Amino acid sequence: MTDLAGFVAKLPKAELHLHIEGTLEPELAFAIAERNGLALPYPSVDELRAAYRFSNLQEFLDVYYACAGVLIESRDFYDLTWAYLERAHADNVRHAEIFFDAQTHTARGIEFAAVIEGICGALDDGRDKLGLTSRLILCFLRHLDEADALETLAAAMPYRDRIVGVGLDSGERGNPPRKFEKVFRRAREAGFVPVAHAGEEGPAAYVREALDVLDVVRIDHGNNALDDPDLVTELARRGIPLTVCPLSNLKLCVVEDLASHPLKRMLELGLFVTVNSDDPAYFGGYVNDNYVAVAEALGLGEGDIVKLARNSFDASLLDEVDKARLFGELAVAVTSLERSDDGSNP
Ligand code: ADE
Ligand code: ZN
């Protein structure tokens, strides 16, 4: 029998819910702060890591935005992104769809160009050196007003060829999707693919609004959709993917423990779920850790895990040719695992 972690590690997969600022490990945060002559609000790596105890989304966001403040130069964004890509590659991630929070940086006087050039430089190297493809999604910060999001969309227009989608993140409570109706309409008209965080801390009604008002093609998290049976039926019928993040949900107290995580129920209800890491530097695990932890807690079988990996490619923004290639790679990996299990492939 292959052990669970070994099984997960061998499967090629995509990651579809990943905030690049959420991959900033404390060691890198201190190194970048030092070269930029900045101080973090914590005296050491250990004390910063010790501050990663959150009782809700906002407590996390306060630390996350403070740490993102060390990112100034284009090379900082390059180093951040490259470090994530190396980790993802080690987890057998073949394709990543990556959020970035432009407003967190432009609000501090950083040029949009510096952010995007640094991130894209690393993404190009990830493709060329690691064979890891990617897509970039510009997230609007929902705690800010829509006018700010509209300005950000305008700043993104010159990079239309590098940014495939728009998303919605940050504090969900009290910031419903309808607040961003106009900017999402403009973004869709300009050809950006719309996705949104919904139902993480917010109610099922926010998931409904993200679908009906923002016209999103994918929901990030979506946990609280389960409170509305009609909505669940619609999500399943329309095959709307949910990018679920188990360790994030645990760390932000969206679930009490992983044994009560809704992922298994979502699968049983026929929902199109994927597993992702969200902000892995803060939540104690990259994507494989998420698969292993949730599979262990919920007693998922190898068939469920393969389905989740397959869903990750299927729910991606890749075209059908690329998806077919990745399905093929997954099938080869599964066959090889089956052979090693029956002893014919030592
Ligand atoms: N920004 C980074 N991580 C987030 C999350 N889990 N929810 C909302 N906004 C975020
Ligand atoms: Zn997220």
**Structure confidence by residue, pLDDT tens digits, 166-185:** 999 999 999 999 999 999 99
Quick check: is 200 catalytic? Answer: yes
Span between the terminal Cα atoms of the chain, in Å = 12
Atom of ligand 1 nearest to the CA of 245: 6
Query: Is the CB of residue 197 below 6 angstroms from any atom belonging to ligand 1?
Result: yes
Distances (CA, A) of 240 to 15, 24, 177, 294, 314: 16, 30, 17, 21, 11
Q: How far is the CA of 17 from the centre of ligand 1 (A)?
A: 10
Q: How far is the CA of 277 from the centre of ligand 2 (A)?
A: 8
Q: Are 17 and 276 in contact (CB under 8 A)?
A: yes
3-state class of 189 per DSSP?
helix
Q: How far is the CA of 175 from the centre of ligand 1 (A)?
A: 13
**Residues with CB in 5 Å of ion ligand 2:** 278
Distances (CA, A) of 101 to 19, 68, 106, 188, 299: 8, 10, 9, 19, 35
* Residue 341 banded pLDDT, cuts 50, 70, 90: confident
CA 273 to chain centre: 13
State the pLDDT at residue 345. Answer: 54
Residue 136 has φ and ψ, to the nearest 5°, of: -115, 135
pLDDT surpasses 60 at 346: no
- 218-221 and 165-169: which strand pairing? unpaired
Ligand 1 pocket test, pick from 80, 180, 197 with the greatest ligand atom count within 8 Å of Cβ, gives 197
pLDDT surpasses 60 at 21: yes
What does the alpha-carbon distance between residue 164 and residue 183 come to, in Å, rounded to a whole number? 15
State the pLDDT at residue 43. Answer: 94
Query: Is the CB of residue 57 below 6 angstroms from any atom belonging to ligand 1?
Result: yes
3-state class of 16 per DSSP?
strand
State the pLDDT at residue 91. Answer: 98
Pair of tokens at residue 306: 């393969």
Helix or strand holding residue 95 (H, E): strand 93-100
With CA atoms as reference, report the closest residue to 282 among 44, 87, 54, 70: 54
| Amino acid letter, residue 53 | R
Ligand 1, atom 10: nearest CA belongs to which residue? 170
Ligand 1, atom 1: nearest CA belongs to which residue? 170
Q: How far is the CA of 133 from the centre of ligand 2 (A)?
A: 20
Atom of ligand 1 nearest to the CA of 252: 6
User: How is the beta sheet containing 272-275 ordered, strand by strand?
Assistant: 13-19, 93-100, 133-141, 165-169, 193-198, 218-221, 241-244, 272-275
- Percent pLDDT > 90 in the chain is 97
What does the alpha-carbon distance between residue 51 and residue 29 come to, in Å, rounded to a whole number? 14
Mean pLDDT of 267-289: 98
State the pLDDT at residue 344. Answer: 63
* Residue 1 banded pLDDT, cuts 50, 70, 90: low
Q: How far is the CA of 60 from the centre of ligand 2 (A)?
A: 11
Ligand 1 pocket test, pick from 200, 201, 252 with the greatest ligand atom count within 8 Å of Cβ, gives 200
Mean pLDDT of 98-125: 98
E strand spans, 112-209: 133-141, 165-169, 193-198
State the pLDDT at residue 132. Answer: 98
CATH among 3.20.20.140, 3.40.50.720, 3.40.50.300, 3.20.20.70 for 4-338: 3.20.20.140
